[in-house]
Each structure stands twice: as C-alpha cells, then as structure tokens.
Chain A
Amino acid sequence: MSLYRISARKLSEAQKLPNVGAYVRMIAADGKSLRDVLAAKVPQEQERVKNFRKQHGATKMGETTIDMMYGGMRGIKALVTETSVLDADEGIRFRGLSIPECQKVLPAADGGTEPLPEGLFWLLLTGEVPTKSQVQQLSREWAERAALPQHVVTMLNNMPTTLHPMSQFAAAVTALNHDSKFAKAYSDGVHKSKYWEYVYEDSMDLIAKLPVVAATIYCNTYRGGKGSRSIDSSLDWSANFVKMLGYDNAPFTELMRLYLTIHSDHEGGNVSAHTVHLVGSALSDPYLSFAAGLNGLAGPLHGLANQEVLVWLRKLQKEAGNNPSEEQLKEYIWKTLKSGQVVPGYGHAVLRKTDPRYTCQREFALKHLPEDETFQLVSKIYKVVPPILTETGKVKNPWPNVDAHSGVLLQYYGMKEMNYYTVLFGVSRALGVLASLVWDRALGLPIERPKSFSTDLLVKMVQK
C-alpha cells in the first residue's frame, strides 16, 4: 500500500506536466556523466510506465478504419515515442522543448551560438538539459570512440564511386555490426533488464563513428579519396565532421551544428524512426536497426526532399532568372501546380504551420548570408507560395517545411553534391532514433507485430 501511494504521488506529479518548464530540470550535480544520469533514470521510468499501463492499459486511444489501413496508418495513434512529440501547430518538441527553447538553453561551442548536437542527444536521452561541461565530456567521449575498424575502411575504399552515398552508408553501418556489444551480450544470454545498457554502448559507439564513415564516403566519392580521417579530441563532433569533409570555415561548422541538431528527431512515426523501432523490436542490434532506418531515409518521399527543392529552384532560375519578380514567381508556381506537381519543400503530413526547422534556418541565413541571391529567392518564395496554395483550396498545409531551406544553405558554403545531403540527414537522425531505441529496450517494448488482412478478408469482415 505504501508502494502504491508512492507511485500515485509520482503519477500525480506527472499530471502537472502541461507546464513546459516542468518537463526539464537543470542538473544540480555538475559531474554526472550521461551514463550515470541514464542509469538513475531508467528504473524510475520503468516503474512509471508499468504503473501507467496497470491503471490505463485498457483505455481506448482510437479506432482503425479501412481507410486508415489503406492510407498508410496516417494519423493512427499506434506508437509510443518518448524523445519528441510533433504538434501540428507548434512543430517539434524535443523532450518538451521547442527549437527556439533548445537554442536558448542547450550549450553552444566556445565562440559559437548554435546548440551542439551533443547537448541535444543528452536531452533526448535523459529529458534533462546538460551543463556545458557535460556536453564537453560527451564530445570527448565520442572522439575517443570514433575510430573505424580496418575492415570497414577497407570495405568503404572498395566501393565504386558510382554507388550512391546512401547505399555506401547503409552498407558500412551494417558492417560495423561486427563489433556490436548488444549482439554479443544477447548471444551470451544477458538478462532482459540490462539490454538497454548494451544498446546504449552500441549507440554511443555508432554515433561517434558516423562522421568518420560519412566523411570517408564523401572524400572517396567526391574528392578522389583525399582528406583526413583523424579525429581531433579538442574539437566537438560537428567540428570534427566538417574538418574531415575538408571544409575550413567557422560559419559552416555552426551551420552543421544547427543542421545536425534540428534534423535529429521528428517523433516516432516517420519512416526512418519507425523502421529503426520496428527492426529493433526484433532485438536486432543498433547497427542493423539504424542501417534499416537509413534504407528508409534513402526513399525519395522521406530523405530526398531537400534535393527536390534544389532541383526545382534551379529550373526556376533557369526559366525566370536569378532575381525574378513576384509576378514571374507566381506564374512559375502556377505552372508547376497545373502540371500536376507539388511545390517541393511545402506541406507536411502532420504539420499545419511553418515548420520551426525552416524558421531557424531562415534566421541563420538572415544572420550569415543575407545578401545571397538564392537565399533571397527562397525568401521571396516564402512570401509568394503560401497564398497561392491556400487559394487552391485543397491544401491542408501551405507552409514550408525544413527541406525548403536546408539545401540552399549547404550550397552556399560550397557543399554542392546533392546526392550527399541525405547522408547528413542520416548522421543527424541517428541522435533521435538511437536515443529512442535505448528507451525502447529500457522499457522492454515488445516486438512490433500488427495484423494484416487481404482485401478479400476485409470484405468478409465488414459484411458480417
């Protein structure tokens, strides 16, 4: 009974959570490592979810209709994801914090203003905002874990440059599975309650190695194999990545920090996050789970969107010039729509207002490249497109999403290889999906196995 009272009190506290500030607590003890914080938090969350299920397990969350089945589960409330929540109007919240809030409270690098992705990973994993020294500690830890095994380097160097960077990326991550601590622990018969610890270790190793893998692919594919793979332990994750890619440019490093932060998570229902969760629920290790997610990210409807924006912009510039008037823009946009195409970079399956990820990139551009011709074009499009889409009367969301801006910024700093952009997206997305995977195992979420029916069976069912 006393145990029940304690649990009830915790649930009672949870009830107060609509106050955003309550989601996040500043860490009192400065010295705790990420692993320590997580180890303390996991049993609490396990208890909370267990009690929650006991009390409300049978509560109805919604219904499924045949339209929903045929419609790709659109909107079906079928997944639990702790790391981020997507509100149709406000956009993404990482553990309750909006992007502007993250930019405000997450530690930046010395001399920088954008949040470090290391800090975001800490937040996603623990629900708490780290101190600057904790973030620096995480940077160092990732640097220490970053070295690639020789067999993966050999494999990468054997890949033809004609092989798409995303295929190279997925294959290399798959090969890293050789060192999976989870796979080894599982085959040694480790107890289920400890799965999360090994998933954590694999996730940390994998995240640390991703910039090296990604930079190796970039240098092999686009720079004739030149470039360094060495990690400078005094630099943060993004700075090391930019250096290995061969760019020596402080604002570009800041852009990379921003990019890697804002693309990291977008709740659990998008294809890459859902694939990682699904594959991980069969207890595949983090390397294989993430590789599967990358295969989903490579899909044009998911990960290629910013490339489609750039392609469309180039066609626009070719046809209407680099500095078209608003009238010329309107004419081109209507032409796009009437030919049955969509305006790439606009609209979203869930969002119904301007994507905050677009907004913060726009602010970055206003600060660092306000005079850039292409940025000015994007800005003008932002002014012109929403009224047109609204006018068509059949668009739920006429506002821009993250992809409307990200390619333009990368182009400005000289990274013009569009096929590579999804790899960057993949490096960033690892932070969200792997943090979520750690929690899936911590909470003991079972294998995902929905039921499927053929159309004939469905007909029989509904005709009863």
Chain B
Amino acid sequence: MQKTNNYKSFKIFFKNVPFRSYPDCKNGKGSGLKAKLAKKIPIEREKFLGIKCLHGKKIIGQISVNSVIGGMRGLPLLFCETSSLDKNKGIYYRGKLLKDVCAKLPRVQEGTQEGTPEGCFFLLTSGSMPTKKEAQEVTNEWLKRGSVPRYCLRMIDSMDKRVHPMAQLCAASACLNPQSQFVEAYTKGARRADYWKYSYEDSMNLIAMLPTVAAAIYSNVFRDGEGSREVNYEEDWSGNFCRMLGLPEKDFVDLMRLYMILHADHESGNVSAHACHLVGTALSDPFLSFSASMCGLAGPLHGLANQEVLVWLTKLRKAIGDDPSDEELKKFIDDTLKGGQVIPGYGHAVLRDTDPRFVLQNEFAMKHCKDDPGVKLVTRLWKIIPEVLKKLNKVANPYPNVDAHSGVLLQHYCLKELKFYTVLFGVSRALGVLSQLIWSRALGAPIERPKSFSSIEICKFINEADKKAGKKNNKKKC
C-alpha cells in the first residue's frame, strides 16, 4: 500500500539529480518567497540528511504505558522547523521570540502599527525576517490569488445557516480541492523532490482565499448574506478580511493583523497542526490537509477556549457587575474553583509563565481601548487570579494564556459572535500549519504510522518483558 520510502533511495535520488532552478511564474518576476525557498530547501535537505547520518540512532525519549494511554503527552515524536515552545519564554517563530517578531515585522500599509500576517508567513516559511518589500510582495501575491471559485461560494451559500461555522469552513476547504496543483502534479507523476512547489502553490492559494471563505460564512450565518466578497487591491489581507466582515475600522484591522500573527503557529504537536501534518503525510493535498486540521480545531479542548473565557466573564459581570471590588472578584473565582471548574484562559499544557501572546494583546489593549470594561476586568483579573491559583499548590501554571484576552478585544470592536471566533483562529492557524506542510514535503517526511496495541496486547508485552528480566522484581503480573 505504501510506497517504499527508505533513506537510501532518497539519498541516491538526491545525489543523482542535482537541484535545478525552476522557471519563474508566468507573469514576470517570481515571488520573492518562492525563490527564497527554492534556494533554501536544498541546503536544509542536506542538513537534514546530515543530522540523520550523525544522530539518527540516538535516543531522545522513553515511551511508557502511561504516555501511550496519556495521549503521547510530552513524547518527542515530531519535528517542526517553523516554531518551538519554551515553557518559560513562550513560543519562538523561527528562533525569534514572539515579541521580537511582532516588533520587527514590517509595517507595510501606510499608517499601520502592526506587522502583517503576510510577513509572518514569509518568516515561518522561509526562516528569514522579511524586508518591507518582501512582505509587500506576499500581500500582492495573495491579492492576486484571492478570488474564490464560484462553485465554492455557491456551496457555502447552499449550506444550512444552522451548521456550525467551523463545520462550514471544513467543508469549504475540502471543496476547494479541485484547485489543487499538488493533486494534478502527483497524478502526472511529479518527482518527490518537487512536491513542495505544488504544496507551496496550493498553500498560497488557500491562504489567499480564506478571508473570503470565512467572511462568506460569517455573512451567511450572522448577517443575512450581506457584505462584499470582492478583493480590494488597495488593501492587504487583513484589511480585505475586516471589510468583508463589515468591520472596516482601522484599529480593528490592526488588531486583526496582530491576532493572525499571534495564533499562527504553536509547534506541530497541537491537534490542528498535527492533523494537518498527519493527513499531509499520506500526500493529501493542502486543501484536504487543512480541512482535517480545522476539524481538530473545532474540538472544544483546542479551539473553543477563548469562547469559554467570554462565557465565564459574562457570568462574572452579570453576577457582580462591571466594576466589582477585589474581594468580590476573589469570591467569584473561589466559587468557580469550588464548583469543580477551572478558570478558563489560565494555565497551559506546556507553558509555565504568562503567555507572551496574552502580554502582546494586553499591550495592544492599553494602547487602543484601555477604558473598555471588559479589558479593564481582564487586566485586574491578571493581578488576582495567579495569586489565588498559587495558593492552591496544585496548579503547574497559574498564569494567563492567549485565550484570556483575545475574546475581549474582539468584543470591543463589535465582532461579538462567539461561534465565529474559532474560524478566526483557523484562518490564522493556516499560516503555521501550511508553512509546516510545505516543509514536510520539502524534506520528504514519510507517512506517519505509529504502531498501536490493544491493552490486552500491552499486557502480553509486559509479561514477556518480565520473563526476560528473569523476574528481577516481584512485580505483579497483569
């Protein structure tokens, strides 16, 4: 069933077929990003193979029964070139702290205060911080590719408005797959070394179309179909998106740029990134891989967290008003904990300090809307909740994560429909998962196929291991 994909054949292939430069796009000068990738990929392949030769056999982790039943938590099983998560400092994009990324990304549009997601995608994909010109080129490229095929819009329009927006996003992504250049190339027998080029084209096309798809869903579900679906070539990706949502305010567009950057990538072990990678290793095209990714993001444990924060804050404000005293806040927090619930927006599976994404959103809030009641409340809670959680002595991380802030900011700018927030997350996450996908194809990541066992089989395995150990320990048998 699976094609042979061993290291030797890959090496032979690589040596025998020296890398050739590819022709530019039809319309003149090629995309700066693609050219940069084409230059970088052979270098990274060589490095990749070198690591395998030198260190392939080295052990980097142990697998226990608990880790198998516990969802592989913490097991080092995946590689991810685009980002890495440090438990104290938070996420790094291509080796750069998030606050440095946000500070250094070029402000492309006149008068804007945030870097662009286009520049962020350039960074994640190429590994280099883009110049203003390079970031602008990505914007131009996405504008050119942004038109959604009519049949897809018709399909979105034919969906029942009660279908969850995330389900609609998954369906729409899957339905875009006739556009796939990867499928076309694969069918024609393209060389494996070139797969990344077609994944790149599909990824660029998909990202370019996502704002229109998402806005069409939003408009259908929440605004009776009103709103534009046409790309305005004078605006960037975020500007077009906000206008299509019917929220063209300049500060909101800046928030959207920031939001898209902050949610873009978070290693490849989270459910949405992992699903995209896993499906992609079967050589499904980027449209289907992204659709699978969004099915995962729709899961309440993964993508609904900022909504849960808002629900909790709404209950809080209803119970004790917009401007409660510290004592009232503490009591509400204690009541939540005693009710067996967690405080939504606080804690994280990996992080052990305040999530830098929270900090960056807070800085945005202090600059643009510090008088908003919701924002004020979030800032005050940030002072109180960690102290309360620390006293419990059983919380690994008492600090806020990204979800503690993102919903409040969206509310301030009148994007109030909670069900749509995960779609925003999904549009942003596309930047990370698709850049990872391009690199998986570039490095020839083989099909992902771990071994599974039933618990009965695991018992057998343990019994055999015990026999081999010669009953050193008097362990109980299964």
A312 to chain B, nearest CB (A): 12
A61, A168, A274, A293: which contacts B64 (Cβ < 8 A)?
Answer: A61
**Is the beta-carbon distance between B451 and A167 smaller than 8 angstroms?**
no
What per-residue 1/0 map shows which CB atoms of A389-411 lie under 8 Å from chain B? 00000010000011100000000
**Is the beta-carbon distance between A451 and B56 smaller than 8 angstroms?**
no
**Is the beta-carbon distance between A52 and B167 smaller than 8 angstroms?**
no
In the complex, what distance in Å separates the CA atom of A17 from the CA atom of B295? Answer: 38
B160, B299, B447, B463: which contacts A349 (Cβ < 8 A)?
Answer: B447
What per-residue 1/0 map shows which CB atoms of B349-389 lie under 8 Å from chain A? 10000000000000000000000000000000000000000
Residues of A within 8 A of B32 (CB): none
**Is the beta-carbon distance between A64 and B459 smaller than 8 angstroms?**
no
Q: Which residue of A has the minimal Cβ distance to B187?
A: A300
Residues of A within 8 A of B83 (CB): 454
Is A269 part of the contact surface with B, judged by Cβ < 8 Å? yes
**Is the beta-carbon distance between A80 and B275 smaller than 8 angstroms?**
no
User: Which residues from 259 to 310 on chain A have a C-beta closer than 8 Å to any C-beta of chain B?
Assistant: 267-271, 273-275, 278-284, 287-289, 291-293, 295-303, 305
What per-residue 1/0 map shows which CB atoms of B444-478 lie under 8 Å from chain A? 01111111111111111111010000000001111
**Is the beta-carbon distance between A289 and B295 smaller than 8 angstroms?**
yes
Is B414 part of the contact surface with A, judged by Cβ < 8 Å? no
Question: Binding site of B, secondary structure by majority: helix, strand, loop or mixed?
Answer: mixed
Is B2 part of the contact surface with A, judged by Cβ < 8 Å? yes
A52, A296, A453: which contacts B278 (Cβ < 8 A)?
Answer: A296
**Is the beta-carbon distance between B299 and A284 smaller than 8 angstroms?**
yes
A315 to chain B, nearest CB (A): 12
**Is the beta-carbon distance between B63 and A151 smaller than 8 angstroms?**
no
User: Which residues from 431 to 451 on chain A have a C-beta closer than 8 Å to any C-beta of chain B?
Assistant: 443, 445-451
A75 to chain B, nearest CB (A): 5
Residues of A within 8 A of B168 (CB): 174-175
Residues of A within 8 A of B462 (CB): 56, 59
**Is the beta-carbon distance between A299 and B269 smaller than 8 angstroms?**
no
B202 to chain A, nearest CB (A): 14
Residues of B within 8 A of A49 (CB): 69, 455
Given A302-B282, A449-B269; A78-B75 close (CB under 8 Å):
yes
Q: Which residue of A has the minimal Cβ distance to B78?
A: A452
In the complex, what distance in Å separates the CA atom of A69 from the CA atom of B456? Answer: 26
In the complex, what distance in Å separates the CA atom of A457 from the CA atom of B79? Answer: 10
Q: Which residue of A has the minimal Cβ distance to B476?
A: A55
**Is the beta-carbon distance between A282 and B296 smaller than 8 angstroms?**
yes
Is A154 part of the contact surface with B, judged by Cβ < 8 Å? yes
B450 to chain A, nearest CB (A): 4
B268 to chain A, nearest CB (A): 4
**Is the beta-carbon distance between B171 and A80 smaller than 8 angstroms?**
no
**Is the beta-carbon distance between A15 and B175 smaller than 8 angstroms?**
no
**Is the beta-carbon distance between A76 and B55 smaller than 8 angstroms?**
no
**Is the beta-carbon distance between A301 and B2 smaller than 8 angstroms?**
yes
Selected interface stretch from A32-40, A157-165, A318-326, A367-375: A157-165
Given A15-B477, A462-B55; A268-B452 close (CB under 8 Å):
yes
Is A18 part of the contact surface with B, judged by Cβ < 8 Å? yes
Number of A residues near B (Cβ < 8 Å) is 125
In the complex, what distance in Å separates the CA atom of A172 from the CA atom of B282? Answer: 22
Is B23 part of the contact surface with A, judged by Cβ < 8 Å? no
User: Which residues from 130 to 181 on chain B have a C-beta closer than 8 Å to any C-beta of chain A?
Assistant: 151, 154-155, 158-160, 162-164, 166-168, 170-172, 174-175, 177-178
B155, B163, B271: which contacts A158 (Cβ < 8 A)?
Answer: B155
Is B393 part of the contact surface with A, judged by Cβ < 8 Å? no
Given A171-B175, A349-B449; A300-B283 close (CB under 8 Å):
yes
Is B267 part of the contact surface with A, judged by Cβ < 8 Å? yes
Is B38 part of the contact surface with A, judged by Cβ < 8 Å? no
Given A64-B77, A283-B301; A271-B279 close (CB under 8 Å):
yes
**Is the beta-carbon distance between A446 and B463 smaller than 8 angstroms?**
no
B350 to chain A, nearest CB (A): 8
A158 to chain B, nearest CB (A): 4
Q: Which residue of B has the minimal Cβ distance to A459?
A: B51
Is A105 part of the contact surface with B, judged by Cβ < 8 Å? no
Given A48-B455, A275-B279; A450-B269 close (CB under 8 Å):
yes
Is B73 part of the contact surface with A, judged by Cβ < 8 Å? yes
User: Which residues from 22 to 66 on chain B have a C-beta closer than 8 Å to any C-beta of chain A?
Assistant: 47-48, 51-52, 55-66
Residues of B within 8 A of A48 (CB): 455
Is B212 part of the contact surface with A, judged by Cβ < 8 Å? no
Given A449-B271, A452-B78, A458-B60; A73-B292 close (CB under 8 Å):
no
Is B194 part of the contact surface with A, judged by Cβ < 8 Å? no
Residues of A within 8 A of B392 (CB): none
B81, B279, B280, B450: which contacts A77 (Cβ < 8 A)?
Answer: B450
In the complex, what distance in Å separates the CA atom of A15 from the CA atom of B461? Answer: 11
A456 to chain B, nearest CB (A): 7
**Is the beta-carbon distance between A281 and B271 smaller than 8 angstroms?**
yes
Is A327 part of the contact surface with B, judged by Cβ < 8 Å? no
**Is the beta-carbon distance between B80 and A454 smaller than 8 angstroms?**
yes
**Is the beta-carbon distance between B4 and A342 smaller than 8 angstroms?**
yes
**Is the beta-carbon distance between B445 and A347 smaller than 8 angstroms?**
no
Is A206 part of the contact surface with B, judged by Cβ < 8 Å? no
In the complex, what distance in Å separates the CA atom of A443 from the CA atom of B454? Answer: 13
B57, B62, B449: which contacts A271 (Cβ < 8 A)?
Answer: B449
Residues of A within 8 A of B267 (CB): 451-452
Is A224 part of the contact surface with B, judged by Cβ < 8 Å? no
**Is the beta-carbon distance between A178 and B163 smaller than 8 angstroms?**
yes
Is A155 part of the contact surface with B, judged by Cβ < 8 Å? yes
**Is the beta-carbon distance between B63 and A73 smaller than 8 angstroms?**
no
B380 to chain A, nearest CB (A): 27
Is A336 part of the contact surface with B, judged by Cβ < 8 Å? no
Given A15-B459, A65-B58; A291-B291 close (CB under 8 Å):
yes
A390 to chain B, nearest CB (A): 15
A415 to chain B, nearest CB (A): 21
Q: Which residue of B has the minimal Cβ distance to A96?
A: B456
Given A186-B300, A403-B1; A174-B167 close (CB under 8 Å):
yes
**Is the beta-carbon distance between B450 and A445 smaller than 8 angstroms?**
no
A80, A159, A403: which contacts B155 (Cβ < 8 A)?
Answer: A159
Q: Which 7 A-B pairs have the closest CB atoms?
A: A299-B282, A282-B299, A151-B160, A268-B452, A292-B295, A299-B284, A284-B299
Having A66-B57, A269-B450, one finds 8 other A-B pairs with CB under 8 Å, namely: A56-B478, A60-B64, A82-B455, A85-B453, A178-B164, A275-B278, A292-B275, A449-B73
Cross-chain pairs A/B with CB under 8 angstroms, 29 sampled? A49-B69, A56-B65, A60-B465, A64-B62, A70-B445, A73-B449, A78-B77, A79-B450, A80-B453, A81-B452, A84-B454, A149-B160, A155-B158, A164-B178, A168-B175, A174-B168, A177-B164, A269-B449, A270-B449, A271-B279, A292-B292, A292-B296, A295-B288, A299-B281, A299-B283, A305-B1, A446-B71, A451-B269, A455-B51
Q: Interface of B with A (CB < 8 Å)?
A: 1-4, 47-48, 51-52, 55-84, 95, 151, 154-155, 158-160, 162-164, 166-168, 170-172, 174-175, 177-178, 186, 267-271, 274-275, 278-284, 287-289, 291-293, 295-303, 349, 445-463, 465, 475-478
